[in-house]
Amino acid sequence: MNNRTKGILLGITVGLAWGLDSILMGAVGVTPLVSAFFHDSFAFFWIGLTLLFSKQLCGSFQLLKTKKGKATAVAALVGAPVGMSAYLLAIKYATAPYASSISVIYPGVGALLSYFLLKEKLSKRATVGIFISLLGSFMLGFKPTGDIPTTFGTGILFALLAVLGWASEGVIIGFAMKHIKDEDHIQAAPQQFLCLRYFVSMIVYGFLVVPLSGEFSTALTIIKSGVFIKFAGIAILGAITYLCWYKAVDLIGAAMGTALNSTAALWTIVFSIILFGAPANSHLIIWGLVIVTGVFIFAIEPKK
């Protein structure tokens, strides 16, 4: 099996794992902020465990001494406590298929932010792709059909906040990598930056978000009842998502890896039907396909 085939299979695994992760997180039935705390904490544990065996764990924490590491920590604040919390709130209020379908437009929104803030060029093809994915997201939220909760509108707003959080995370990382020139000698694996991201997320959730939101007692109840074991299992999917995505990007490039990642929107729909008997909503499926198509157009260069 050549590297391209491996990369494509890993990219498909990313979409599948994140889609299943989204469905299961919505099914646990715990408040979103506490869910996010346990999810990211266990994701840090699993990724840290893999780095421990490869003797790279200490290097992750040493990154905090570097400018790029500090930039990663700042990016984690908008990507995890903001992005992930908003995403789980979107799942709660608008259901996982809708939340996932809208959330996958974040690479396009990130590209737009980079265009305006970092003055990065945006090709006509990318612009068309972004427009198509945004149109799909608008239609998805504008005219929902089927068994839609009364809190749907609130959920869509949270999904858009998640998009903004994750897109901003990418812009911050892109800015740091582009403008920090005196640290090119620092050799760090992407997994180490990812481990640092989840570590920062865990600390912020554990010491700020959960206590200030009055959810500390809820977190203790989850630990005492043993429900936290479910989060430990689901977080394996979250860890697999990012680890496979980094490897896929290494083998087939960021564009194709990002595009395959967007298929999570469709996998979420599939899993919601198979696992929980959700009705096959044609409106959701059609516009979900439009969104994924737009991401593919945006991400993939036809000449390559």
193-236 pLDDT tens trace: 889 999 999 999 999 999 999 999 999 999 999 999 999 999 99
Reply yes or no on whether the pLDDT at 169 is more than 80: yes
User: Sorting pLDDT into bands at 50, 70 and 90, what band is 123?
Assistant: confident
Nearest to 37 by CA among 260, 222, 275: 222
Smallest Cα–Cα separation from 167: which of 236, 79, 269?
A: 79
Residues constituting the chain: 304
Count of beta carbons in the 10 Å neighbourhood of residue 26: 22
Whether the Cβ atoms of residue 292 and residue 263 lie closer than 8 Å to each other: yes
| Residue 45 token pair | 């544990």
**pLDDT value at 157 more than 70:** yes
Lowest mean pLDDT among 2-6, 124-128, 190-194, 298-302: 298-302
pTM here is 0.89
Q: How far apart are CA 80 and CA 165, in angstroms?
A: 8
CA gap 179, 64 in Å, rounded: 18
Rounded CA separation 244/194 (Å): 12
3-state class (DSSP) for residue 301: coil
Compute CA distances 54 → 18, 186, 196, whole Å.
Answer: 25, 18, 16
pLDDT digits (tens, 9 = 90+) for 10-26: 988 999 999 999 999 99
Per the structure block, which two tokens stand in for 291?
């969104």
